[in-house]
Amino acid sequence: MMAPGRSGLRLIDRDVEIRELRALADVGEPRLALLTGRRRVGKTYLLRAAWDEHVAFFFTAARTSPELNRRQLLVDLARWSGERIEPDDHPTWRSVFRLLLDLRVPEPLVVVIDEFQYLADDERGLAIVASELNAAWEQRRPPRSFLLVLAGSVVHTMEALAGGGAPLYGRFHWHHRLEPFDYWHAAAMAPFDVLRERVEAYATFGGTPRYLAAVDPTAAFAENVARLSLSPRGEVRNLVETSLDQEDGLREVAKYRAIVRAVATGQTRRNEIAQRTGLANDTGLRDKIARLVDLGYLAPRANVDDHANAAVTYAVADPAVRFHQRFVEPNLARLEREDPLEFWATHVEPRFAAFVGTEFERIATQGFERLRRPRGYPLVERWGRWEGRDRNRAPLEIDIVAPLVDGRVMTGAVKWNVEPIGVDVHFHHLSMLERAADAGRSWAHAARAPDALLLYVAAGGFEAGFIEVAGRDGRTVIALTLDDLFDT
């Protein structure tokens, strides 16, 4: 994505993808590439930033009939190439693909077919189109630099093109799914001067570039939220409300919306979701939840030591959707009548710190991964947390439980604090580890070993002497503040 800067516009985050795509186009041989990702994540922007129209032919299919898309592609190709092309001379997709493969200039030549899934009416039809492409590729593959990029936002359908048994299986030299920004790159699009507000912006608008593009960092944060997410005419609010409707391939969108709403209101297990929504707890519900996970609306959550057959719990994964479900969806009637800035002050702001605190745990893991190489932190095998009860049935909750690749365990706490935290947080964490170990949790025994690591992430920093006291028993202590998380 592009974001405003002092010297014009600049590309954010997608440097690796740009470099790899350009390298594919320059290898001197024909190559196929597949780019997927949910809507508004910046696929088209990325591809158009990689090459200009003098080098690449771009065609974006429309949600219309395959025949209209075929004819429009040929019309656009004739305009781009300056050649005389009659659509009636190329009545099949195989003949269209042969024409594309026969193009001679420029070199290297790049052809991008965006929203490729619209070249057919359904998945079965798209498999036929892919088969036609495969046949043309085998017959007319040019012995020179030629890159054909297929891109699309129906993630499940598009990624099936590269799946086993598909006509193009094994043909793609590059396959990438474009994800939303993490907190760091989101802040580059919403660079508020105050670091806390950068975190709050990520918790509110998430990492979808299209949402972040609407943010005005020169205005107050509260004004942005009121204007974009709370107002009935808010741009981000409208995009979030219609996001599921825009996801091609989702039938019975109302049921998907009900599932997201159920999870957002605390029904996190499948049987609870079924009871809340009135849907049968069957394979249909399982498949719908899996689709929402695949699209990035929901995410499974599990304790680090859960068995494979343990009941899975789910959480709302997209921060913008989570904000909407928490503050907008339950208050639609009130927001129609009340000034959005007043609603922020009276209803959102008093609850906002607790809301951001949950999102800050995700930011903490993202920040650790970003700092890992430059600071020499160990490689995490998997990130997790733990919620449960000790031997006396008292509740236990540990923010970070992360087995490391080298066999050690790192645990810790994440605090969305304003004032510096004291060593009481450290001793409380040690007490919880002891209680978890007494309850028979093997990871907790490993977390109390002399070579275990402790990770504390505190937005408001630490009191003097915190690290010294926490490290007195010889264990490595990593303490991160907002300054660390946004360190360049």
Q: Is residue 363 part of a domain?
A: no
- Give 232-270 pLDDT, tens digit per residue: 999 999 999 999 888 877 788 999 999 999 999 999 999
Q: Is residue 362 part of a domain?
A: no
User: Do residues 403 and 419 both lie within one domain?
Assistant: yes
Q: Is residue 364 part of a domain?
A: no
**Structure-block tokens of residue 179:** 């994800």
Q: Give the domain CATH number at 248.
A: 1.10.10.10
* Cβ-contact 478, 470 below 8 angstroms: no
Of 177, 202, 223, the residue that ends a domain is 177
The DSSP element (H or E) to which 5 belongs, if any, is strand 2-5
Q: Is residue 238 part of a domain?
A: yes
User: Do residues 259 and 353 both lie within one domain?
Assistant: yes
User: Do residues 443 and 347 both lie within one domain?
Assistant: no
User: Do residues 161 and 216 both lie within one domain?
Assistant: no
Of the segments 17-31, 33-47, 67-81, which one has the largest average pLDDT value?
Answer: 67-81
- Give 446-455 pLDDT, tens digit per residue: 999 999 999 9
Confidence of residue 2 (pLDDT cuts 50, 70, 90): very low
**d(Cα 53, Cα 112) in Å, to the nearest integer?**
10
Q: Give 463 or 307, the one with higher predicted confidence.
A: 463
- Beta bridge pairs of residue 152: 36
User: Do residues 108 and 154 both lie within one domain?
Assistant: yes
User: Do residues 406 and 274 both lie within one domain?
Assistant: no
The pLDDT value given to residue 10: 56
Q: Is residue 373 part of a domain?
A: no
**d(Cα 296, Cα 317) in Å, to the nearest integer?**
6
**d(Cα 459, Cα 359) in Å, to the nearest integer?**
12
- Give 97-116 pLDDT, tens digit per residue: 999 998 877 777 899 999 99
Q: Is residue 372 part of a domain?
A: no
Q: Is residue 368 part of a domain?
A: no
Domain span at 404: 378-485
Of 161, 177, 193, the residue that ends a domain is 177
pTM above 0.75, yes or no: yes
Q: How many domains does the chain have?
A: 3
The pLDDT value given to residue 376: 96
- Give 288-335 pLDDT, tens digit per residue: 999 999 888 999 988 888 877 777 899 999 999 999 999 999 999 999
User: Do residues 196 and 165 both lie within one domain?
Assistant: no
Q: Is residue 330 part of a domain?
A: yes
User: Do residues 297 and 328 both lie within one domain?
Assistant: yes
Beta pairing, strands 298-301 & 30-36: unpaired
User: Do residues 170 and 250 both lie within one domain?
Assistant: no
The pLDDT value given to residue 6: 28
Confidence of residue 213 (pLDDT cuts 50, 70, 90): very high
